[in-house]
Chains A and B, each alone.
Chain A
Amino acid sequence: MKYIFKFPDIGEGLDEGIIVAWLIKKGQAVKVGDALVTMETDKVVTDIPAPKDGIISNTFGKVGETIHVGEALVEIELEGIEGAQAQDENLKVEAVEEEGAGVVGTLEIAGNNAVLSASTEGVVAENSSKLLNRKALATPVARAMAKDLGVDINSVKGSGPAGRVMKEDIINFSKQKSNYSQAPKSGVSLTENSAEVEVVQMSQIRKTIAKNMIQSKHNAAHMTLFEEVEISELDRVRAKFKKPFADKGAKLTYLAFVIKAVALSLKKFKALNAEMDMEKGIMIYKHFYNIGIAVDTDKGLVVPVIRNADKISIFEIALKISEFSEKARLGQITLDDMKDGSFTITSYGSIGGLFAVPVINYPQAGILGVGRITQQPVVKDGQLAVGTVMPLSLSVDHRIADGGETARFINQVMAYLAEPVSLIMD
């Protein structure tokens, strides 16, 4: 009994992927969960696991080829299932696929905390597919017309008896839709390539960023606090350890210290490491301190997560940062790399900008922005001196963290950074 496994919808809103590497060969036995193939999508590089036990009888597509969701990936000879029973098995799987459920369940997807959050998308897709299964009351002509015009009849409000969707509703709906896409001003169409504008399709990563930004701005009550911390001492320590770290393959940046300082501060101010579920009416305080760091890539922003930053050494943190930078550059950050963050740091200062109002990586409680470090006149012990100043911008979800808690938290972070030796004292 052969089973055709198709490239599943991995719950990321992706519709295609490129084969990076085959991890199995024809004739090889696989078990459920064994990695079959590494696929690169717009967002991540991820391994696709086997859905069933069996022997690989065929693979489809060569390395570098693009495979669309729903296209065949591998053919598996199922073990111990023959004849009619085998057919049943096949029918069962087909039925599941037809419901549009895909095989999301077999894939581990990114947690809520990654910017490229995947799980909420998965949930939404499931809900909306349930909604779609509910057949709208509509007239035969309205149905035919909706199909023809590519209108989702379930999203049209019906004006007929008992909310029946009528022909006119479809006409109005599609008119409205075309109105939206019309050029807002000037009379020149801005949706087509011309001398004035270049029009490109949004990448998946851009769509995800856009969606997450709006979700955050929509759901969280943003409040931002600005501070400056004098870090001459930190600067000295960093200069001192830069070379030995580099010898062991880690670039020691200010960020490594900031991550450590934040992780330790979060342990003291639990609201900043929490999230809120208003629907369920609960607060979730996390006992893990996984710090996401925003990394700029040519495709867009990704946020890999440094796990247990409170427990690991600054060297290990520095090493992890170097590793993520390299992976990001190669486009190899995986969904696993991005999941389970509990707080995020965005270090734009290395590029430019003193202060910013960072957008919270929802549903986390806070995000710390690190600005450009400058030499500034500072007063030390009543004397004017040249200081090294790091600007900090802390955005919190004011629903979760109150002003006092937020101020005390940033004071703690500043204290760690001003006196780096304290990082090993707590």
Chain B
Amino acid sequence: MYDLVIIGSGPAGYVSAIRAGQMGLKTAIIEKNVIGGMCLNWGCIPSKAIMESAKLFDRIANDSNRFGIDGIDKKAISFNWNKAVKRSDGIVKKLTTGVGFLLKKNGIEVIEGEAKILSANSVYVSNRTIETKHIMIATGSKSPEVMSSIEAFVLEPTQLFKEREMPQNIVVLGETPTAIELAQAFNMMGKNVSIVVPTESVMPFADQYLVDHILAKLKKDRIKMVFNQNFDNIDSIYKEGKLTFGEEQVDCDLVVNSKRRIAIVPSSEIAIDLDEKGYIAVDENCETNVKGIFAVGDVNGMSYYAHVGSAQGMHVVNFIQGIQQKLDLKKYPLNMYTVPEAAQIGYTEAEIKAQGIEYKVSEFPMSANGKALTEGHNEGFVRILSETKYGEVLGVQILAPNATDMIAEAAAYMEMEATVYDVAQTVHAHPTISEVFMEAGFEAVDKAIHK
């Protein structure tokens, strides 16, 4: 009898498994593919590795001369996709090996195969039935399928970061931050990129202020945007290297599917309720309608972030051990690996308005920050939304080259229910980009120094 059987070894599953092992729970983790799941193998990590190659290429091509480096001939350099993928593979291998080691070290049994839930206390996998006190579903998500009669014409993210010939005209599908990230990366490699969005805007969870800045940046990058186009078969709109949307046409040699992801629901002999969008329905402790069966990470549809999945998983492990805590998604950062990076935490301005809270917006621009200027990154801002009475930090949005790291500071403020006075009193070293945060704090309390 196991204490906990986890289905799926992505960041929600494997982190929970390690935590459970540390707490002395007899734990097994079932993986049908490779340890680490989407994030480590085909998502977060490879995309960041490729993005770094693209950024470096872009800098060498476009910034060398300005930064004082002679002898770079823009026409003589080119982006080698396959070499970039090789480098990425090396990183992935190192990380997945690391995860495997950690699972072993913490006494977790790793079972290969596809799981089937038999009851609240048993799971079938690889010709054996495993008895367990608790089940954690961490099976993740996948892109909704987009059909094409041409082979390898539409790539799912799992297939993208492989060695191949990359064509010139790339169309990225989706409203997600990942779609924008991939589009910008391809763009920096010198590709001709279009984004086809099923909705009327992008980045559904982001504050409109961030969205507006990103849309402006995409325009500046000459990435073509086509909105309100949703389809699950490409054949009817594709003809001779072009996608046609009414009167609009975009060049297309390859489609990358980065649409909003849908749940991968494991097979089950007992009824586990789904919500109207097909995600597994859970309560505030991520427990499903079946007592003792939990669903964490993308599969419950609350978020598509690895760190949120991990946090939910650890919450569940604590929960089954009787440790009561509160899961508050508003205290988890939302990272968007656009260029420049966008990050936010807490409530958006629209959400604050809807709650009728009196609030103050305090913003400080990157363009007034010395370190940002020396690095040649003057786009962006730190924006703090605070409640007027006590000055509580309600939400933070950052657009900066390292926004996804800078948001950690805001996460600490949110976690500790800090006020803008605490932000302003926290001394930030000079010269750093993080100083912008302190200046926004000054602005919130009174007036920024360097504005």
Contact = CB atoms under 8 A, between A and B. Distances in A.
Is the pairing of A and B real? yes
A144 B390 contact: yes
Question: Which of A141, A142, A159, A161 is the most central at the interface, judged by chain B CB atoms within 10 Å of its CB?
Answer: A141
A140 B326 contact: no
Interface string A318-362: 000000000000000000000000000000000000000000000
Interface string A142-159: 101100100000000001
Contact of A141 (B325, B326, B392): B392
Nearest to B417: A139
Interface stretch (B269-277, B418-426, B436-444): B418-426
Contacts of A67: none
Contact of A140 (B325, B389, B422): B422
A139 B326 contact: no
B449 interface: no
A28 to B, nearest CB: 52
Contacts of B391: 144
Interface string B387-418: 00111100000000000000000000000111
Contacts of A167: 392, 417
Most buried by A among B389, B417, B419, B421: B417
A161 B416 CA distance: 10
Interface residues on B, range: 10 to 19
B326 A159 contact: yes
B444 to A, nearest CB: 13
B362 to A, nearest CB: 17
A: contact size bracket:
10 to 19
A252 interface: no
Interface in A105-151: 139-142, 144-145, 148
Contact of A144 (B325, B416, B419): B419
Contacts of B419: 140-141, 144
A159 B323 CA distance: 12
Contact of A139 (B389, B418, B421): B418
A314 interface: no
A166 B416 CA distance: 8
Interface in A18-50: none
Nearest to B393: A141
Nearest to B324: A159
A161 B389 CA distance: 25
Contacts of A139: 416-418
Given A140-B422, A159-B326, A166 B417 contact: yes
Contacts of A159: 326
B53 to A, nearest CB: 40
A148 B416 CA distance: 19
Contact of B418 (A141, A148, A161): A141
A411 B416 CA distance: 69
Nearest to B325: A161
B331 to A, nearest CB: 11
Contacts of B390: 140-141, 144-145, 148
A161 B419 CA distance: 18
Interface in A167-217: 167
A368 B91 CA distance: 89
Contacts of A161: 325
A166 B417 CA distance: 7
B417 A142 contact: yes
A144 to B, nearest CB: 4
Nearest to B387: A141
A130 to B, nearest CB: 27
A241 B416 CA distance: 80
A141 B393 CA distance: 9
Interface in B316-374: 325-326
B319 to A, nearest CB: 15
Contacts of A141: 390, 392, 417-419
A161 B390 CA distance: 22
A7 to B, nearest CB: 36
B355 to A, nearest CB: 14
B416 to A, nearest CB: 5
A141 B392 CA distance: 6
A142 B422 CA distance: 13
A145 B418 CA distance: 12
B328 to A, nearest CB: 10
A320 B188 CA distance: 104
A289 B250 CA distance: 107
B315 to A, nearest CB: 13
A141 to B, nearest CB: 4
Nearest to B422: A140
A171 to B, nearest CB: 12
A167 B387 CA distance: 13
Centre residue among A139, A142, A145, A166 by max chain B CB count within 10 A:
A139
A161 B391 CA distance: 22
B17 to A, nearest CB: 23
Nearest to B420: A140
Nearest to A164: B416
Question: What are the 6 A-B residue pairs with the smallest beta carbon separation, nearest first?
Answer: A139-B417, A144-B390, A141-B417, A141-B392, A140-B419, A140-B418
Given A141-B392, A166-B417, 16 more contacts: A139-B416, A139-B418, A140-B390, A140-B392, A140-B416, A140-B419, A140-B421, A141-B390, A141-B417, A141-B419, A142-B417, A144-B390, A144-B391, A145-B390, A167-B392, A167-B417
19 contacts: A139-B416, A139-B417, A139-B418, A140-B390, A140-B416, A140-B421, A141-B392, A141-B417, A141-B418, A142-B417, A144-B390, A144-B391, A144-B419, A145-B390, A148-B389, A148-B390, A161-B325, A167-B392, A167-B417
Interface of B: 325-326, 389-392, 416-419, 421-422
